[in-house]
Amino acid sequence: MAATGEAGRDMVRNKQVVLKHFVVGAPKETDMEFREGKTSLKILKGAEGAILVKNLYLSCDPYMRGRMREYYESYIPPFQPGKPIEGFGVAKVIDSTNSNFSVGDYIVGLTGWEEYSTIIMTEQLRKIEILDVPLSYHVGLLGMPGFTAYVGFNEICSPKKGDYVFVSAASGAVGQLVGQLAKLHGCYVVGSAGSTQKVELLKNKLGFDDAFNYKEETDLAAALKRHFPEGIDIYFDNVGGSMLDAALLNMRVHGRVAVCGMVSQHAVSDTKSISNLYTLVMKRVRMQGFIQSDYLHLFPQFLQTMVNLYKEGKIVYIEDMTEGLESGPAAFVGLFSGKNVGKQVVHVADE
């Protein structure tokens, strides 16, 4: 709904999701609030090299929790209270003073949780060239989570045909792909997830050999022993905590643990300590943390591979899409109790 603003420009409403204060413990919807601002549909004078975008899809990712803490020593700075939070998104360029981007282009990269964003740090953006897949996939299958699965599995896990692979948070944005990549590699794959529905998806839609609901197990080490009587060659760890401890007890000789994330520890102040590290020596296990952005030189190869696999029908991707920016805070908060079934995306607007 355009109006004529002070400077005589077209002004429109710009709803925003703002961080209210730094967060301690599990994030809550009330840690964020909505603000209704206005924005011009033209880039303000002086902002050379910028683009103005309409945000279409916003991605909910667990790492964003880290940016809600007052902690400045991370690889990425915290959000600023009183300002819109930011995250990966797919957006359409509606004005540009940057020669790399034209009006009408679709881009993916860090943008604001708001209807319209002016993006100055355009180096981190990617123009979307692949338009014959759902646009939202560029924050999932073909975006950061997909890339995380790809480099985590290929570069960290040293997979071999026939390996026994365990994936936690297996139906999530990263996990669902790790499992499918492992199957394509000729591995035996079991996933854990937090509901019957997710377990069914893993077995019937995502092609896992087996899956279990960890919330129904009283003894995680025993559950893993049941699913891996011969032990685990590769554990792709998305959750940390007690599942990691249980997996360590079940590793095979020369096993690998890819430490992708510890989502079970994000939201708790009293983190779970790990007792079974001695297996690292006994079983000569390699345990390795990684961050996808260290491997960006592999992104073009990833994109090509994944698009092909998808188009050949060899890979599927499950999204959990909520409607409207208003649904954003709840969707994000839901990650930490497993409300999302598949990759959590917020659909902000149509083109």
Tokens 């109006």 appear where? 3
Which of 19, 52, 119, 193 is in the footprint of ligand NAP by CB under 6 A? 193
Beta-bridged to residue 118, according to DSSP, are: 52
> What's the min distance (Å) between Cβ of 248 and its own copies?
10
Distance CA 256, CA 234 (A): 5
Strands 116-119 and 51-59, sheet pairing: antiparallel
CA angle 254, 279, 155 (to 5 degrees): 40
The one among 281, 313, 350, 351 contacting ligand NAP by CB under 6 A: 281
Q: Is 263 in the site for ligand NAP (CB under 6 A)?
A: yes
The reply to whether 258 sits near ligand NAP by the rule CB under 6 A is: no
Q: Which does 288 bind (CB under 5 to 8 A by kind): ligand NAP, its own copies, none?
A: its own copies
First CA to last CA across the chain, in angstroms? Answer: 15
Query: How far apart are the C-alpha atoms of 327 and 336, rounded to whole Å?
Result: 16
Structure tokens at 211: 């899956």
C-beta separation of 15 from 34 below 8 A: yes
Q: Contact region for ligand NAP (CB under 6 A) — 1-9, 29-37, 58-66, 309-317? A: 58-66
Task: Give 25 or 82: the residue with its C-beta nearer to its own copies.
Answer: 25
User: Using CB distances below 5 to 8 A depending on partner kind, what does residue 292 bind out of ligand NAP, its own copies, none?
Assistant: ligand NAP
Based on CB atoms, which residue is closest to its own copies, 276 or 327?
276
Is residue 198 at the binding interface for ligand NAP, with CB under 6 A as the rule? yes
CA–CA dist 260, 168 (Å, integer): 10
Q: How far is the CB of 337 from ligand NAP (least distance, A)?
A: 6
The two most distant CA atoms of the chain are separated, in Å, by 72
Choose which of 139, 260, 303, 345 interacts with ligand NAP (CB under 6 A).
Answer: 260
Nearer to its own copies, 71 or 124 (CB): 71
Cα–Cα distance for residue pair 232/226, rounded to 1 Å:
11
Binding site for ligand NAP (CB under 6 A): 61-63, 145, 148, 169, 172-175, 193-195, 198, 238-239, 260-264, 281, 290-292, 335-336, 338, 340, 343-344
